[in-house]
Amino acid sequence: MEKKVRYCKLSIALLCFFASKSFALDIITPSENEAFMDIQQSHDVDSQLISANDKLSLHNKNQYEHKSLALTIDSDKNNYEKLITALPENVLSGEGVETYFKSIENIIVNIDKLENKYINDGIALKEESKIIAADYEKLNELSAEKNMQLSMLKKKVVARLIKDLSKPSSVQKFDINGETLCSKFQSIADCLSENEKVIISKTKKTEPFLNDRSVLLSYKVHGASMNMNGMLDYNVSMSFKPSYNNKIEALLNEKFGLRSAVVTLESNVEAEWYVDGNKIGEGKRIQHEVTLGRHGILASYKAHRQSTVEVIDGNGLFSYTFENKKASPAKKESPKVAKKTVKLKKTIKLMKPKSNNLNTNVNSKPVTAEKKTTSKEWKDYLYFMGIEPESAKQKKAFSE
């Protein structure tokens, strides 16, 4: 008996839960459902997808046969090599030589025939591949267009729901008949009080317009009775302020088939695009289909990268901008390097040349040389560097 009482105290749970509600708002209106059917019929992806898949299956079969043909050709060539190797022995034996030559001739003709077929089949396979790729490209475009229209329709539905749910008159009422197991030693009032949060939580979980944050406007017990085993029957009414939430979002995605979305990625440069670590293409603007949920997007341009983590709940556009200015050679030099260059120029000293074979720019700026006794070679060098003589005597010395 003690164990049973302890069990009952720990097992206060709803065993039966019936709710009738009074709420006029529809998740999908008849006109919205009609628009949905029109989009489905005008974008018949399924039938075209079946046709494209059939072509792909046949193409894969032809590819397998093409590879098998290559193996047959290799086998015949090996047989030909064996026949040629054994030819001298058969000629020397003198028996069946004509038949032996005929077999060599036949295998040569057969190899030539198979090689021609291999070449022609290869060309046909390439054409098939192009056609199939074009079909799937059209399908992707059709699917993207369908998802785009469905996403636009969904946005209209969401806008209507949010507008209607935000009205002061928007109230969701429930009349609930349920039962729960209580302790035999509890009063009806205590059991109902103990189960009030459970009843409210259960209601929020089962109704699409309610979630954990929904505001409870009223709660009233209209009647309750308990039998000798502690089973409590009750009738409760309550009202909530409904709201748009993740449950409605999931229902709409399920209705419109929007388990995936088409994202448009654009940049001002020819970027490389990655979604969740997988490269999906290159260009200034590309489209890619992803499943709904959180995804990592990365744009790469030369040594620069930009990345974000986005929650994809429908078709969307994401832009990434890179600096794409062409720098001149002088601008490419870093400030530190430029500073060092200037310092080096200041510390350059005029060096005495080792020979007369100078490879110096005539148009360089004048350099003031130190006054000291110089050799003829040094004087010639000063004259060559464009230093004007200070006197007639120095001019004569330069010209000697």
Residue pLDDT, tens place only, 262-313: 899 999 999 999 988 788 999 999 988 887 778 889 999 987 889 898 888 7
What is the tens place of the pLDDT at every residue in 317-333?
999 999 865 544 444 44
What distances in angstroms separate CA 169 from CA 90, 204, 239, one per listed residue? 106, 19, 12
pLDDT at 349: 37
CA dihedral 389, 392, 393, 398 (to 10 degrees): 40
pLDDT at 347: 34
**What mean pLDDT do residues 81-86 have?**
91
pLDDT at 140: 79
The helix (H) or strand (E) run that includes residue 77 is helix 45-85
Q: Which residue has the higher pLDDT, 99 or 393?
A: 99
**What mean pLDDT do residues 195-204 have?**
91
Amino acid at 198: V
Task: Give the Cα separation of 190 and 268 in Å (integer).
Answer: 68
What is the tens place of the pLDDT at every residue in 216-266?
999 999 999 999 888 999 999 999 999 998 889 888 888 888 777 889 999
pLDDT at 396: 65
CA atoms within 13 A on the CB side of 381: 19
- 394 band by pLDDT with thresholds 50, 70 and 90: low
pLDDT at 390: 63
128 close to 62: Cβ distance less than 8 angstroms: yes
Percent of the chain exceeding pLDDT 70 equals 75
Q: Which residues are within 8 A (CB) of 250 and not within 5 positions of it... i.e. 6 or more apart?
A: none
Domains plus CATH for the chain?
A: 2-14+171-248 (no CATH), 30-165 (1.10.287), 259-320 (2.60.40.10), 329-399 (no CATH)
Closest CA to 23 of 209, 177, 190, 196: 209
What's this model's pTM, rounded to 2 decimal places? 0.53
pLDDT at 397: 60
171 close to 240: Cβ distance less than 8 angstroms: yes
**What is the pLDDT of the chain when averaged over all its residues?**
78
